[in-house]
Amino acid sequence: MQDFKEERWNVKERIPSPKAKELFYDIRRKQEISKSDLLASSGLTISTLTRVLDELVSIGVISESGLGASTGGRRPILYQVRGEYGYAFGLDVSRVVSRLILLDLAGQTLEAAEWDMTVDMTPERLIGEVVGRAREWIAAHGIPLDQIIGMGIGAVGPLDREAGIIEEPEWFAAPGWQHVEIVRLIEEALHVPVLLDNGANAAIVAEAWANRGKDFRHMLYVHGGTGLRLSMMSDSKLIYGAADMEGSFGQMIIQADGIPYRTAKGNHGCLDSYASVHAIEREVNSRLRIGRSSRLQQMLESGEPARFSHIMQALKQMDPMVTEVVTQAATYFGIGLANLLNILYPEKVVLGGPLMTDSNLFFYTATQTAIRKTYHYPKYQVIFSKGSYGEEAIAVGAALLMLEQLTC
C-alpha cells in the first residue's frame, strides 16, 4: 500500500517546474494557443517562455501543432496538449446509476459504462465491475500503465476525502455502503493513484471545464435527485467547508414546523422534504391514496406505488395532478435556490440530476421562482444552465479532478 501512496503523490511531480505547471494550465484551457499569446498572458520573458515550453515538449505533455495566422510578422507557433500523454478514469458512485468513463489528457471521452445500483450492487460487486472494465479498456487501447494518471471518484457523501472512505451514505438499495475504503481497494486492484471527492464537487469541475473559455469566477452546482447536493467554486477553485457539505442544501430549513425529514438525522421542514425525488413520490402517492384522479392509475398494478419514472411519464402526458405536484416541488426548490443567490451571488448556476434532466417544467419553474425572489434582481443577473455533460457530469469531473493533479 505504501508504494501506491507514494505513486499517488508522484502525479504532482510529472511536471516538476512551477512555471511549467502554470504554463501547462494555460495551454490546457485552450484547444490551441500561440506562443505570442502565451508571452502576453504569462508575463514571462521570451527566453524563459521558450525554455519552459521546450521543457513541456520534452516531457511530452504538449506539442507544436502548426503555425497561426500572421499579424504582420512571422506566423506564431501554436501549441496544444498531447491527449495521448496520459489518461484518467472517472467514477461516479451514485444511488441509482453509477458510471465509469475514460478521458485522455485533452479531456476527450474515450470510453463510458454504467451500472444500475440494484439491491445486489454491493461495494464489492461495483468495485469488481469497475476494475474489470478499466482493465478491459487499458488492454483495448494498448495503454501502458505509466500513462494512467489515475482514477478520480465522485461519490455520494458523507466522505472522508483524505482517508479515501465513503462513510455513512443513505438510501443505497444494496447493503454494505458504510465505511467503504474505496480508494485503498481500487488502488490495490489497479495499481494506479486514486482520489476521492463528493459527486457535486466533481460535477462542478466538469461544468467549469466546459465553460473554461468564459471565465466565470463564481459558480454553483446543484444536483436534484434522491437528495439535493451542492457544490461551489470561486476564482476557479472548489470551496470546501470544515465538513463534507454536499448534502447541506437539502437540509436548509424552509418551514420550521413543516414535514419531518425521512430519517432522524435531518431537519424538520428542510428543503429535501419538499423538493427531492423522494418528496415528489411521497406527495403523488399520498394524493393517489385519497382518491385523486390521475393517468398513473392506468400505469400501476393494484397497490403498486408510483415511482419517479412513472411520474415523469405521466408528466409528459400533461397529467393535471402530477403537474400540480411537480410545480409545487419546483417552486419550493426555487425558494431554496433564491436563498443561496441572496447570500452567494454566483455568476452561473448549473442545475443537474434527474429533476432537471427529466423535466423542463421543474427547471423553468424553479429558476423563474428563484429570479423573482432574488433581492437585487434585475441589477444582479445570474445565468442558469442544465449543464454540458448531462448525467455524465460527475464521472467526467472526477476524471478531470485527477488530471488536475498534474498542475497542483
Asked if 195 and 224 sit in the same domain, the reply is no
* Predicted local distance difference test score (pLDDT) of residue 72: 64
Q: Which residues of the chain have pLDDT under 50?
A: 1-4, 6-9
Q: Are residues 183 and 242 in the same domain?
A: no
148/188 same-domain check: yes
Q: Which residues, 6+ apart, have CB-to-CB distance to 6 below 8 Å?
A: none
251 and 382 housed in the same domain: yes
State whether 73 and 90 are in the same domain.
no
Give the CATH number for residue 44. Answer: 1.10.10.10
Sheet holding 228-234: strands in order across?
A: 237-238, 228-234, 218-224, 348-352, 383-385
Domain boundary among 56, 81, 106: 81
- Distance between CA 248 and CA 250 in Å, rounded? 5
Query: Of the candidates 81, 103, 135, which is a domain's last residue?
Result: 81
Question: What pLDDT score was predicted for residue 247?
Answer: 77
Asked if the bond preceding 378 is cis, omega within 30° of 0, the reply is yes
pLDDT at 87 (0 to 100): 98
Specify whether 382 is located in the same domain as 276.
yes
CATH number, domain of 278, equals 3.30.420.40
Looking at the structure, do residues 267 and 316 belong to the same domain, yes or no? Answer: yes
Predicted pLDDT of residue 216? 86
**Are 179 and 47 members of one domain?**
no
Say whether both 220 and 338 belong to one domain: yes
Containing structural domain, residue 10: 2-81
Both 155 and 8 in one domain: the answer is no
| Number of structural domains in the chain | 3
- Of the three residues 53, 81, 109, the one that is the final residue of a domain is 81
Q: Which amino acid is at 379?
A: K
**186/223 same-domain check:** no
- Regarding pTM above 0.85, the answer is yes
- The average confidence (pLDDT) of the chain is 92
pLDDT (tens digit, 9 = 90+) per residue, 385-400? 998 898 899 999 999 9
The confidence score (pLDDT) of residue 8 equals: 46
User: Do residues 147 and 237 share a domain?
Assistant: no
